[in-house]
Structure 1
């Protein structure tokens, strides 16, 4: 299958840090379909050769084992081309159309790795140029909008040019191996499904923690914040994967229908419940990795007195028969104690404990980063006779070791799916808008709240109020258990 893959924003950070390295890995693994061309689009005046040299220099920042040798890069670079475009000029879209029509590939994927505010303009220009034929797909990076109204407007314009089956709204967390294995764990095995409900599960925690600060992205982050950057998309998508009902098939819409039902079943927020069940924080100076680090307001391009949140923890419930009464805790933040993304399913304790000693309940930990894997925490007998007691043990599945020969990174998987036209791991417009609809009362309540975010020291797990949020129900975050 021949394909053309076009990156709008071809000199941007996302393209050279994530997308091009992911494509190279697919090329190295022999997974990239033959007959492909990769086109980078940007405003700079460059030739193919200059762009390839620029990209090769950037590839030196790729982590060791994933860095190409000179010979590997030379072979990969033969696929890479460059086109200067001003995204506001119709004549430049005509140039793109000419480039694409030079050989009429089976599939053309147009990846919008630009600022989301440019999405409507780009899509309208693509439509005007006739670059929306059935074999053309458009990939939209998050965040799609900054609130429900802007998300709806982006989707309105996209739908006016492309059909829903041509629109691939990407969330790279859905491409992570652990998330895929969550589907396999639940719907490919008989073991857990009878337990995956309120009668057996006490609470579920989703943590997306980053050890780094905002770095040089202070201006972008200050307009976005942790709620928009992580909760509205990544965290809610993970929640839907954990909580959805078994789909009728592995078809994309069957899966996305079930995810949408979860989003519609989330308990709505009110101004009162936001005050009670949502904690926002902002990091101050502290220590990370043994070094002193500045607070958020001392970072580059962050305005003095900013009330932007760098941490969010919240409690919610899903109002249906499977999950009624089970609290779901979501947490994300910058400059936390560790880089750690995981889903923790805490099971209920045994109804009657006959063993002395440790009696902590079982839990399942789905690790997303820095490693991908599963840990099942159980109790086993230790000692003999009168001294026999229970002690914690764990069954640990490391996906990096178990599937070393077939490991595929998140962006690599999603790019290959976009080329192949597989929508299973992409977000449908109604899902995305429902997620905005759910978080919007939080944004509205914060807009009225003059107290601002709670401070927390860099290198900790956030404000103390986040621990109190969980403790109120008699539970604790996973690192406190």
Structure 2
């Protein structure tokens, strides 16, 4: 059912995600008149606050995390906001929440960020209070389970109250401009799509590197690890966008259908194609930092680094390795996709001593949004010492190419799409289950082959085995 919600119910409204991302994003949408004047926002959490106390809380968060040029909109935005305390385990308390939400002329959008153990009681409460009707849709923030079985359990619980067309599973990477530009880059440029296959592409690298350690996420991270925290969701979504077939049209069903085909085509990973690690004490940004076990306060077998050599068993990508790596306490914060093309079949310049390097496309997602394509060009000169070729980068810096339009953080787009009902940038259930099935297979491989994390020093690029994983194919990680 198509509708633009006039009520937004924000679970976890006093949490870190709300302070840093959700409230600033909603205030930015308000400042730019992108949401209707009718939209009212109701926050809920366990904290015992009234409307005034929550508005003060929200104001503090906005003063801290909202850009200065938007702060003039804070007072007007806070008039949209109210609050209702809630214990999700008490079904009866949802009646008060429903009364606070009030009548919905157009519909209700729900943003649910909660512990996996609270999904069932929360859905039951929404259903019992009438907040899960046909004019309600729900956005689900990760984690959605810890494996395929628990993911199915959560999805089954949500599915008892919401049909699939009213469920919006959030992966905030899909809201990033450069991630969306993957579609434009591939399918709006004749120079790329005809060569976007195994005949012309040698390999693909996807890196998500963080410089931080636990940073207050001890309880969650030690139960998740790098595999569940990053690879299962963000990185597999990036892989699917890089590798999918051209959708027949730009709509949610077509795009998500093609992504699912890729995820179902992932080959099971063997022990020789995976490396796992855990950081020990080292340096970050020139400063000494403790090891993972020191931060945690106890020994742990949780991985903080994963590298995988993946294959997609379909016609387009036969024989093309996809190298994936993610980790904490690495030398720099970067998320990027590197598409390495094959060398030219014959170089006529070799007899003149010139070496032609293969072309390479680098799509930088964070901290800077940038697209670089390397071409070979002749160095200026009379060539008496021999002809020289050199790589020349063609850079498209998004902030320079689009200096006019305002850059937006991912949650601005995702919250607006949730309110308006556009599922294009959200993840379908069969996508999630295909991701978990592949990840569960890797974890089973680790268990059966007694693969445990290799130590690596904080501030390095991970265990040396990760370098060897690519080097045995004569590939070097892009750093």
TM-score, structure 2 as length reference: 0.95
Matches within 5 A, 1:351-366: 351-355=345-349, 356-366=353-363
Within 5 Å, which residues of 2 pair with 1:238-253? 238-253=238-253
Cα deviation for residue 412 of structure 1 reads: 0.6
Distance across 2 between alignment mates of 1:179 and 1:321: 24
Match of 1:155 in 2: 155
* Cα distance in structure 2, aligned partners of 1:267 and 1:139: 30
1:68 is displaced (CA, Å) by 4.4
Residues 1:371 and 2:368 are matched in the alignment: yes
- 1:42 aligned to 28, 41, 45, which one? 45
The residue matched to 1:10 in structure 2 has which SS? coil
Q: How many Å apart are 1:97 and its aligned residue?
A: 1.9
For 2:398, the equivalent position in structure 1 comes to 399
Change (3 A) 1:457 1:357: farther
Match of 1:466 in 2: 466
> Match for residue 389 of structure 1?
388
Secondary structure in structure 2 of the residue aligned to 1:199:
coil
The CA deviation string for residues 109-135 of structure 1, in whole angstroms up to 9 with x for no partner, is 111122233122211221222222222
- After TM superposition, the structure 1 = structure 2 runs for residues 39-188 of structure 1, keeping only pairs within 5 Å, are 39-62=42-65, 65=67, 68-69=70-71, 71-100=72-101, 102-188=102-188
Deviation at 1:360, TM superposition (A): 2.0
Task: Give structure 1 stretches of 5+ with no counterpart.
Answer: none
Residue 427 of structure 1 corresponds to which residue in structure 2? 427
Does the 8 A contact of 1:116 with 1:141 survive in 2?
Answer: no
C-alpha change, 1:451 and 1:323, in structure 2 (3 Å) is: closer
Q: Of the candidates 269, 274, 279, which is equivalent to residue 278 of structure 1?
A: 274
Compute the displacement of 1:359 (Å).
2.6
User: Judging changes above 3 Å, is the alpha-carbon distance between structure 1 residues 52 and 449 closer, same or farther for their aligned structure 2 residues?
Assistant: farther
With over 3 angstroms needed to count, the CA separation of the structure-2 counterparts of 1:311 and 1:2, relative to structure 1, is closer
What is the CA deviation profile of residues 439-462 of structure 1, one whole-angstrom value per residue up to 9, with x for unaligned ones?
A: 102222333455620011111111
The structural deviation recorded for 1:16 is: 1.1
**Could you list the per-position Cα deviations for residues 371-414 of structure 1 after superposition, in whole angstroms to 9, with x for gaps in the alignment?**
11211111111123434321111111111222232422211111
Secondary structure of residue in 1 paired with 2:160: helix
Is the 8 Å Cα contact of residues 12 and 113 (structure 1) preserved in structure 2? no
Equivalent in the alignment of 2:15? 12
Number of equivalent positions: 470
State yes or no: 1:32 paired with 2:35: yes
Deviation of residue 8 (structure 1)? 1.0
Q: Alpha-carbon deviations, 1:224-256, whole Å to 9, x = none? A: 000000001100010000000001111101111
- TM-score with structure 1 setting the length: 0.94
Deviations 1:28-65 (A, max 9, x none): 233223311111101222111111111222234326x3
SS of the residue 1:161 aligns to: coil
CA offset digits 1:86-144 (Å, max 9, x no partner): 111222211222233x3313121111122233122211221222222222111111121
- Once residues 451 and 341 of structure 2 are traced to their aligned partners in structure 1, the CA distance between those partners, rounded to angstroms, is 36
Superposition RMSD on alpha carbons, in Å?
A: 1.5
Contact kept, 8 Å, 2:144 with 2:151, in 1: the verdict is yes
SS in 2 for 1:132: coil
- What is the Cα deviation at residue 27 of structure 1? 1.9
Q: How does 1:198-213 map to 2 (within 5 A)?
A: 198-213=198-213
Q: Per the alignment, do residues 449 and 307 of structure 1 end up closer, same or farther by CA in structure 2, a change over 3 Å counting? A: farther
Which blocks of at least 5 consecutive residues in structure 2 are unaligned?
none
Aligned to 1:349: 343
The correspondence for 1:380, drawn from 374, 377, 381, is 377
**Using the alignment, how far apart are the partners of 1:390 and 1:29 within structure 2?**
49
Aligned partners of 1:200 and 1:348 also within 8 Å: yes
The answer on 1:319 being equivalent to 2:320 is no
In structure 2, distance between residues paired with 1:112 and 1:437: 24
CA displacement 1:339-380 (0-9 Å, x = unmatched): 000000000011112233443211111111001121111111
Partner Cα separation in structure 2 for residue 353 and residue 311 of structure 1: 39
* CA deviation map 1:262-286 (0-9, x unaligned): 01111123xxx1x200100000111
Moved more, 150-159 or 1-10: 1-10
